[in-house]
Amino acid sequence: MRYLLYLLLFVLLLFGIWPYYTIFRLDGALSKEDTTELATMVDLPAIRAHFKARVTAGADQLLPVADPKSTMGWIRQNLERLGDSALDQAITLPWVRETLRQAVSEATHQSPPFLLSGIDFAFFESYNRFLIRIGDLGRNPTHVRLTLEGTEWKITDIIR
């Protein structure tokens, strides 16, 4: 029975360390110009979906939801279609790399930026979500959300 408890404790400890190891790997991937290693740690469709949700929430305040056959409805539908296309073109792996590098540079004033030195907070939100804050609160920090997808922790949102 004691060995089973030790094994359970060991597994919990490994699970708790796992996202921090991903951050360490992410730091190495950000320092390279090649994005192949970074690609394994990023879920671009999820990042685009989160950005779209934030943009849509802002558009709801500017353009109220209207009848789709009205002029306002037509404008809103075209903005959404153009927004999807723009997000697909703007949010790419090089954009993720440069956004995170810029956030670390702003937080630490280092050149070249090292992700590990810019992290002010990193902890679990739930068992399958991990939040990283780059920079101090109150000083426009960047939040990076990792989500456990299968057997990998992947970046699923970047909030600037």
* 160 contacts 103 by C-beta, under 8 angstroms: yes
Select from 101, 122, 97 the least CA-distant residue to 113. 101
Neighbours of 126 (CB within 10 A): 9
Which helix (H) or strand (E) segment holds residue 5: the answer is helix 2-30
Q: Quick check: is 9 in a domain?
A: no
Residue 148 forms part of a structural domain: yes
Residues of the chain with pLDDT below 50 are none
pTM: 0.85
Sign, CA torsion 46/48/49/50: positive
Number of separate domains in the chain: 1
Burial (CB < 10 A; 0-12, 13-18, 19+), residue 95, is middle
Looking at residue 64, its pLDDT comes to: 61
Q: What is the pLDDT of residue 66?
A: 59
Neighbours of 84 (CB within 10 A): 13
Q: Which domain holds residue 138?
A: 17-159
Instruction: Please report the pLDDT score of residue 112 as a whole number.
Output: 81
Write down the pLDDT at residue 70: 63
Question: Is 5 inside any structural domain?
Answer: no
